[in-house]
A and B are shown apart, each in its own frame.
Chain A
């Protein structure tokens, strides 16, 4: 079923038990919404010794947006700004691929499960919601990303 390429097991796992989800505690908090569906995310993080730490987020949204934010938290936490920038770039490229690339598993790890999303244009924004909040928070914390 075509649907199974969208809702992979790993996505539903993250959806049911999202990582890094909790009230954001950092000084700089970003709030992003998807105006099409009303999904929202609040996210905070810090940069210590050039590494992203203490990333927490909270929000409401569909399985894709929630799972994607959860996976994003795993992938950028503990990474240097340069490493996280590469993950962000690879993920954004995957989402814009319209199903034409599979994604670099070495960099994207669990996030390659979201490759199927790129075949559903209406859902790409869902998958990117948490990532765009991360990018915004990183920039507001002084990272060049």
Chain B
């Protein structure tokens, strides 16, 4: 079979696949929606930073500090190029979660059109990961604003019939995911973003599940902010990204205060550096930022469009296989239209935790439970699902073992 990706070659770049799992099984890693594995190029980039360039960035006047600053800023340029935006619009955080909390806290401190208070409305959806729900829910609580949300349909899409009631003239912020981390469903964002801008509100895109897996043009999408995490995109843990339109970032209040983020400081006051530095207090996670740059290079070399197509092929193959297994129900979207490479399913009469435990005996790593999206799971009338998610290092043989392990889980409990 001719293949979009040369997975055998790709797999050799990921040392983790040499590890043996329980019972000597090879690793079938289907939990990339939680975190991705890392290619040797990323590990080398991190190590190389420490062995050749380590110094606090943006501080020292010596050669090594200049070199550190240069490779660090090169990484910012790589992220900007990857997203098709300007480097001044890229803020490095420690995680996508921190990026979203940064926004929420900054709006709490905001003035003028960026202030949030009683009477204002913040909009999310029932699809959201806790990381894109709780910062807004708690911001609303602290400021007296009202949290509203789009409801989810059983197929994982959003109910847009209530658009005028959800997004009103009181709306200040709309924060919605690009793709559900539980179901893989991709909500129809264009009308939501249009409605957001029609009332003068700002749109925050949680792109944790999309940026690592498909080509993204954030400007074409029309978002005002976008966040993603490095570790889901082959990068190291400890680095997240916030993209924001430059004019908004520059009007916003800081999140963390400290070194590097200032213009001037006296004993009684301070002024702030322009974005992105205003939002990067303290010595950043330098090696991790450099590692993320290497990760995006790796992804670009493989090709984001190829990765997306490959994942959809695997998803279609896995969906067909799952639907042929008696007792298995795929939750959310049933096909590959408007979805990414994520599948949630249940097995009749079995708890996901037990399903995942048996699948582990086959070397298959899947996520079980509510996937940090408890309101979504409740809306589906479930206590949890088993979730498989695909990436560029998975192939059809992985899906075959996955399907075998699902049958194994069903039969392990069914026959006893």
- Most chain B CB within 10 A, of A37, A61, A64, A126, is at A37
Within 8 A of B (CB), among A115-145: 120, 123, 126
Residues on A close to B: CB < 8 A? 1-3, 6-7, 9, 12, 36-39, 60-64, 120, 123, 126
- Chain A positions within 8 Å of B358 at CB level: 3
In the complex with contacts A38-B369, A38-B370, A38-B383, A64-B353 CB distance below 8 A: yes
- Chain B positions within 8 Å of A2 at CB level: 22-23, 361
Q: Is B368 an interface residue (CB 8 A)?
A: yes
- Most chain A CB within 10 A, of B354, B361, B370, B383, is at B354
Beta-carbon contacts of B344-369 to A below 8 Å, as 1s and 0s? 00000001111001100100000011
A68 to B285, CA, bound (A): 44
Instruction: Report which of B23, B361, B368, B412 forms a contact with A37, defined as CB distance below 8 A.
Output: B368
Residues B353 and A7 in contact, CB atoms below 8 Å apart: no
CB distance from B373 to the nearest CB of A (A): 10
- Chain A positions within 8 Å of B412 at CB level: 3, 7
- Chain A positions within 8 Å of B368 at CB level: 37
Q: Is B377 an interface residue (CB 8 A)?
A: yes
Instruction: Report which of A1, A37, A61, A120 forms a contact with B370, defined as CB distance below 8 A.
Output: A37
A61 to B353, CA, bound (A): 8
In the complex with contacts A1-B361, A2-B22, A63-B413, A38-B384 CB distance below 8 A: yes
Q: How many residue pairs bridge A and B at CB < 8 Å?
A: 48
CB distance from A63 to the nearest CB of B (A): 5
A36 to B34, CA, bound (A): 14
A50 to B25, CA, bound (A): 52
Residue of B nearest to A39 (CB): B383
Given A12-B413, A123-B353, 18 more pairs with CB closer than 8 A: A1-B361, A7-B412, A7-B413, A7-B416, A9-B416, A12-B416, A36-B369, A37-B353, A37-B369, A39-B353, A61-B351, A61-B353, A62-B352, A62-B354, A63-B354, A64-B353, A120-B357, A126-B353
| 12 A–B pairs (Cβ distance < 8 Å), ordered by A | A1-B361, A2-B361, A3-B358, A7-B354, A7-B413, A36-B369, A37-B368, A38-B369, A38-B374, A39-B353, A60-B383, A63-B351
